[in-house]
Amino acid sequence: MSSRRTFLQRASLLLPASLALPSLASAAAAASTPAAAASPRRIPAQELAADVVIIGGGTGGCAAALAAARHGRRVIMTEETDWIGGQLTSQAVPPDENPLIETVGGTRSYLTFRQKVRDYYARNFPLTDAARANKLLNPGNGSVSKLCHEPRVALAVLEEMLAPYVAGQRVRILLRHVPTAATTNGDRVEAVQVRNLETGNTLVLRAPVFVDATELGDLLPLTRTEYVTGAEAQRDTGEPRAKPEAQPLNHQSFTCCFAMDYLAGEDHTIERPREYAFWRDHVPPLHPPWSGKLLSLFYSQPKTLKPFNMGFDPAKGTGLFKYRRIIDRTNFAPGTYAGDITLVNWPQNDYMLGNLVDVSAEEFARHVDRAKQLSLSWLYWLQTECPRPDGGTGWKGLRLRPDIVGTEDGLAKYPYIRESRRIKAELTITEQHVGTEARMKVTGKAANEVTAADFADSVGIGRYNIDLHPSSGGDNYIDFAALPFQIPLGSLLPQRMENLLPASKNIGTTHLTNGCYRLHPVEWNIGESVGELAAFCAAKQQPPRAVRKNATLLADFQRQLVASGIPLAWPKG
């Protein structure tokens, strides 16, 4: 089944937040109507129970499952696509990490994942002697990360890490399942209904704790958990760079990524995309202005917003081609790869013309389809119109690689999502907590002395600039310095719901601070800490909120985190 069908099936199941969401009981009643009777017969919903139900098998969901399972808890994890891993796999995004990640800034299990990626290449690929001797092997030698690798390798490693728990029936993974309804009792979630996208059959999942690890925060509207979308007003957050008025529809762009290699002397030009004429001439309606047409080697440099050209020469493997390159064939025995392979998640295929949150099924499908058309148009432009250093135009040898992303159309199984619904949390992380300039004003300290806010309830750490891509609200890049930060437990606790926890980009950040809490190692840490919290609460027979309120419980929980290899603060000095 193609990834296109996945998106369209998903769109038909998501309801706008403005509509009344059915209870499981009302959903069952609806199935007895004449209209339902006329549809294909479906097996009545069956029930499954576990200690923790995780909806969403992305980076955070996998980390949450691993953490809960290692403490002996039974986990059910669903995943919309047929690949677990999210950003690392189905979205086809090499890890964006802090520059010190080889030694600090990630949890022990995340660093284990990274090492296992290298071990996988060493075990299964014909590396050159030099590559095999390199303990810090970067398979693609891409410039964006110290570990640019293929999505399928990340998938294999995640499956390997989960394998003993799956075999021991501690973790059950339901691929190709999406949430469709939920029942709540007061401030608690009692059950979530999921549908199998292959068969149409439904399951009712029950647990003491539910984790929303979906890419868009899909459980929040289904459970009527209070949430925020888009950009907040400055009067609500106090952030220096916040908007004068709230803009809930102003979201970061999303991207349909793809893989390609380059075979000199060959012609792999794709069929001209349906919307090519539109995208070829499209100038993003942004402020400050974009550098010109979107399909161009020039784009707005994120920090300065001045026109910038990184260059592009796939024959030499330089510029944009090298940026997210996942295979550098010089790391492998001659003949292993016909050409270097890169993943295309670049400024030129960021989709800025609409959102995927709280929209109708038709609008959701339309935006995904147009985002795919943009990515294919970008490839076609590179193949046919891109200026070459020799004065010619077009690189016909660029070849789309569906096999790398596991789809028929060559585009990733799922869009790369940068911004989600975000819970209204007990503690919302703001620019004043982590932004370098804002912290200097708050503390009165110089740039070389200032640190991010110190949270007594820290459950992890991260480091990344506040990096917002161009938005559907017309903003160009917003990119400014942030300090090495902590993840406060309060940002993982909804203000009202007692047993629903976020484990992706849906935590208590703002539109701005989401820009530094949304990347791979931080999402992993968030998910892992949530899995640890679920296990801790089960052992102590306490709700998650009590852990933050009770100093003794909090200290015990933080000791558990440290013992599990989750650092709570950055090393000093």
Which of 496, 327, 477, 475 lies closest to 401 in space, CA to CA? 327
- How many C-beta atoms lie closer than 10 Å to residue 464's C-beta? 22
Scan for tokens 């029930």, then name that residue.
Answer: 47
Could you read off the pLDDT of 107-125 as tens digits, one per residue? 999 999 999 999 999 999 9
How far apart, in whole angstroms, are the C-alpha atoms of residue 97 and residue 238?
Answer: 28
Structure tokens at 256: 């349909």
H/E stretch holding 6 reads helix 3-13
Contact 182, 222 (CB under 8 A): yes
Where do runs of H (alpha helix) occur along 72-198?
108-124, 129-133, 151-167
pLDDT of res. 43: 57
Amino acid at the residue 510: T
How many Cα neighbours within 13 Å face the side chain of 321?
22
Using the predicted structure, report yes or no on whether residue 437 has a pLDDT greater than 50: yes
How far apart, in whole angstroms, are the C-alpha atoms of residue 63 and residue 171?
Answer: 12
pLDDT of res. 45: 76
pLDDT of res. 42: 54
What phi and psi values does residue 555 have, to the nearest 5 degrees? -65, -40
How far apart, in whole angstroms, are the C-alpha atoms of residue 57 and residue 96?
Answer: 19
Determine the number of helices (DSSP H) and then strands (DSSP E) in the chain: 19, 25
Contact 92, 553 (CB under 8 A): no
Average pLDDT of the chain to the nearest whole number: 93
Average pLDDT over residues 237-253: 98
pLDDT of res. 122: 98
How far apart, in whole angstroms, are the C-alpha atoms of residue 93 and residue 99?
Answer: 17
Scan for tokens 């390609």, then name that residue.
Answer: 260
186 by Cβ neighbours in 10 Å (0-12 / 13-18 / 19+) ranks as exposed
Could you read off the pLDDT of 298-331 as tens digits, one per residue? 999 999 999 999 999 999 999 999 999 999 999 9
Using the predicted structure, report yes or no on whether residue 26 has a pLDDT greater than 80: no
| Cα Rg, the chain, nearest whole Å | 23
H/E stretch holding 344 reads strand 341-344
pLDDT of res. 34: 32
Least confident of 21-30, 200-209, 237-246: 21-30
Could you read off the pLDDT of 348-385 as tens digits, one per residue? 999 999 999 999 999 999 999 999 999 999 999 999 99
Rounded to a whole number of angstroms, the distance between the first and last alpha carbons of the chain is: 52
How far apart, in whole angstroms, are the C-alpha atoms of residue 290 and residue 215?
Answer: 28
Average pLDDT over residues 546-566: 98
Please give the domain boundaries of the chain with CATH numbers for all domains.
Answer: 45-215 (3.50.50.60), 227-250+424-563 (no CATH), 254-405 (no CATH)
How many Cα neighbours within 13 Å face the side chain of 305?
15
**Quick one: pLDDT band at residue 438, thresholds 50, 70, 90?**
very high
Could you read off the pLDDT of 99-108 as tens digits, one per residue? 999 999 999 9
